[in-house]
Chain A
Amino acid sequence: MVVQPGQAAEESVSGQILTVKDLTISYGGVPALSGVNLDIRENEIFGIIGPANAGKTSFLKAINRMDMFTAGMGVQGEIRFCGQDVQTLKNVYALRSAIGVVFPLPVGLPMTIYDNVALAPRLRGIKARQDLDVIVERCLERAALWDEVKDRLDSLGSLLSGGQQQRLTIARALSQEPTLLMLDEFSIAVDPVTTMRIEDVLKELRQEMTIILVTNLVQQANRLADRTAFFLQGSCVEVGDTATLFTGGAQDQRTTDYIEGRFG
């Protein structure tokens, strides 16, 4: 039975996990994304679609303060995560550990598969082997990778194939037990069958966490997202229920055009 995207969105109107007000992101003074206002609700899958250079990845970077790593990247406006302003909070590491991120290209860290997934729990101070075993197995199961690697957890994570590494990256993000999971075009390096398996996992994960799904695949947003935002050339054109947007109910003609593949 398929959960209709629209339904869930209506049910969880109450808790807003992320609020963004007048967000402007610039690189060396040149705006890359401006005037974004949106709320992300607890336990929804929030899709972000849009062509290249729309500002999607910059948006994710600003949320977990990865702008600190990028010289010349400036962030104005307000982003509140769990009610706290991410620009001014005092412990950015605590913020990041509550947000899992999966980048477009897989990053298998140069350590064993087991250690890759056990890294975040260990950073949190979990040392007991049996506890780690449970976490590692559960996260790899959820990332649809357990069956393929359960007999070789001691081999290097960086030696896995691209698609496997991406699932390893997802398992690692899940091992943080994040409040918010951000996926940036995760399916670029993954085959369609595995993509579908991960998509099923994401639907289940919605019970436990909020997910921001940046995707190039319009239909992926349609399949998964409760609500979808359309970013275009550095601005957020519109945010709406996915069901509405994908059935011709978009406010802005450009959104409809993009969804129906007339440009981009």
Chain B
Amino acid sequence: MSDIATQDFDRRNRDWYIDKLVQLVVFFGGISAIVFIIGIFVFITKEGFGFILNTMDPVEFFTSPYWEPSDEDAPEYGILALIAGTASVTGLALIVAIPFSLGAAIFVGEFATGKTRELLKILVELLAAIPSVVWGFIGLTIMNPIIIDLFDVPVGLTVLNAGIILGLMTAPIMTSIAEDALKAVPDRYREAAEAMGATRWQVIFKVVLPAAKNGLLGAVLLGVGRGFGETMAVLLATGHSVNIPDSVFDSVRALTATIAAELGETAVGSDHYQALFTIGIFLFVITFVINLTADLVVRGVRKG
């Protein structure tokens, strides 16, 4: 009558073995990420380690604004000005990017419908795919004369220029992530609020944004990480001069741009070469911390 006797849950069939095989393959895929990140860290640490042990004065390295590694008599390795350059550009970029990206995300996610919405999403993604050298080129050839004319300053390759360029660059990515965060808010939340007579704006401000808070914060932090790591656009638009900026009209130099511009000219294994790798370690640690924080924030883990 029944097939109770014929069923054998101990028999491992072909499907079971395929399942195990696939698990093994994807396990190696997953592990490879860890292998790569450790490999990269080991590599840059190895290259920069001699400098950290022998030449580097940690206090001078982080507090001296003088970066003169090519000085043959007394080379100076102080990255304070470079940190200030990266931080000022990234900070300004965020001021530009946050309103743009949040506004775009809210419009695309909450207001736009049908074809408008689809078109905008495609355009935003296209914007995110523009190579950074193109952005740098825009900074160099378009923004530069505009800034000189508009503000009557001698040089247009400044914190302002690079900040705006970097802000426009990061905005599409932040928009994408922020819109995902808004989309993840269930519609029943909106319906429940709308059913109480809340206006569209009230629904967004009181219900949707608080519910998407973690995702939005994560989007901003990933924007920060992107700003820190961006090289080419910043190299072209900042003016690339070592300087602690007093205003947005000063030229600065970024950590990443320093590595990009100087690594090719240094002798492998020299103090200068190793110093550049030490900057690399510093950048690696900073981006790692930012990304980790972003990840924890997105997951809603509270610290402390």
Are A179 and B11 neighbours in the complex by a CB distance under 8 Å? no
Are A91 and B13 neighbours in the complex by a CB distance under 8 Å? yes
Are A91 and B11 neighbours in the complex by a CB distance under 8 Å? yes
Are A84 and B9 neighbours in the complex by a CB distance under 8 Å? yes
Known contacts A93-B19, A179-B2; A82 and B11 CB within 8 A of each other: no
Q: What does the 1/0 interface line of A80-106 toward B look like (CB < 8 Å)? A: 011110100111111100100000000
Chain B residue with the shortest CB-CB distance to A84: B9
Pick the residue among A84, A90, A92, A179 that contacts B3 (CB under 8 A): A179
Does B12 reach chain A (CB closer than 8 Å)? Answer: yes
Does B201 reach chain A (CB closer than 8 Å)? Answer: no
Are B9 and A94 neighbours in the complex by a CB distance under 8 Å? yes
Does B187 reach chain A (CB closer than 8 Å)? Answer: no
Are B9 and A90 neighbours in the complex by a CB distance under 8 Å? yes
Are A15 and B10 neighbours in the complex by a CB distance under 8 Å? no
CA distance A89 to B7 in the complex (A): 12
Chain B residue with the shortest CB-CB distance to A85: B9
Are A89 and B3 neighbours in the complex by a CB distance under 8 Å? no
Known contacts A15-B2, A42-B2; A179 and B16 CB within 8 A of each other: no
Knowing that A43-B2, A84-B9, A89-B9 touch, tell me 13 more A-B residue pairs with CB under 8 angstroms: A15-B4, A42-B2, A42-B4, A82-B4, A82-B9, A90-B11, A91-B9, A91-B11, A91-B16, A93-B16, A179-B2, A179-B3, A179-B4
CA distance A43 to B12 in the complex (A): 27
CA distance A62 to B225 in the complex (A): 44
Does A17 reach chain B (CB closer than 8 Å)? Answer: yes
How many A-B pairs with Cβ below 8 Å? 45
Q: Which 7 A-B pairs have the closest CB atoms?
A: A89-B9, A90-B10, A95-B9, A82-B4, A94-B9, A84-B9, A91-B12
Known contacts A15-B4, A42-B4, A82-B4; A93 and B15 CB within 8 A of each other: yes
CA distance A42 to B9 in the complex (A): 18
B-side interface mostly = loop
Q: Which residues between 1 and 25 of chain B lie within 8 Å of chain A, taking CB atoms?
A: 2-4, 7-13, 15-16, 19
Residues of A near any B CB (own CB < 8 A):
15, 17, 42-43, 81-84, 86, 89-95, 98, 123, 179
CA distance A89 to B11 in the complex (A): 9
Are A82 and B7 neighbours in the complex by a CB distance under 8 Å? yes
Task: Give chain A residues whose Cβ lies under 8 Å from the Cβ of B10.
Answer: 84, 89-91
Are B2 and A94 neighbours in the complex by a CB distance under 8 Å? no
CA distance A84 to B16 in the complex (A): 18
Chain B residue with the shortest CB-CB distance to A90: B10
Task: Give chain B residues whose Cβ lies under 8 Å from the Cβ of A15.
Answer: 2, 4
Are A98 and B16 neighbours in the complex by a CB distance under 8 Å? no
Identify which of B4, B12, B13 gathers the most chain A CB atoms within 10 Å of its CB: B4
Are A94 and B4 neighbours in the complex by a CB distance under 8 Å? no
Chain B residue with the shortest CB-CB distance to A210: B2
Task: Give chain B residues whose Cβ lies under 8 Å from the Cβ of A86.
Answer: 9
Task: Give chain A residues whose Cβ lies under 8 Å from the Cβ of B4.
Answer: 15, 17, 42, 82-83, 179
* Minimum C-beta distance from B128 to chain A (A): 27
Identify which of A17, A94, A98 gathers the most chain B CB atoms within 10 Å of its CB: A94
Q: What does the 1/0 interface line of B262-279 toward A look like (CB < 8 Å)? A: 000000000000000000
CA distance A138 to B288 in the complex (A): 56
Chain B residue with the shortest CB-CB distance to A89: B9
Chain A residue with the shortest CB-CB distance to B6: A82
Task: Give chain A residues whose Cβ lies under 8 Å from the Cβ of B11.
Answer: 90-91, 94
Chain B residue with the shortest CB-CB distance to A81: B9
CA distance A42 to B3 in the complex (A): 11
Chain A residue with the shortest CB-CB distance to B19: A93
Are B7 and A179 neighbours in the complex by a CB distance under 8 Å? yes
Chain A residue with the shortest CB-CB distance to B11: A91
Task: Give chain B residues whose Cβ lies under 8 Å from the Cβ of A90.
Answer: 9-12
CA distance A123 to B18 in the complex (A): 13
Q: Which residues between 245 and 276 of chain B lie within 8 Å of chain A, taking CB atoms?
A: none
Q: Could you list some 25 contacts between A and B, CB below 8 A?
A: A43-B2, A81-B9, A82-B4, A82-B7, A82-B9, A83-B4, A84-B9, A89-B9, A89-B10, A90-B9, A90-B11, A90-B12, A91-B10, A91-B11, A91-B12, A91-B13, A92-B9, A93-B15, A94-B7, A94-B9, A94-B11, A94-B13, A95-B9, A98-B9, A123-B15
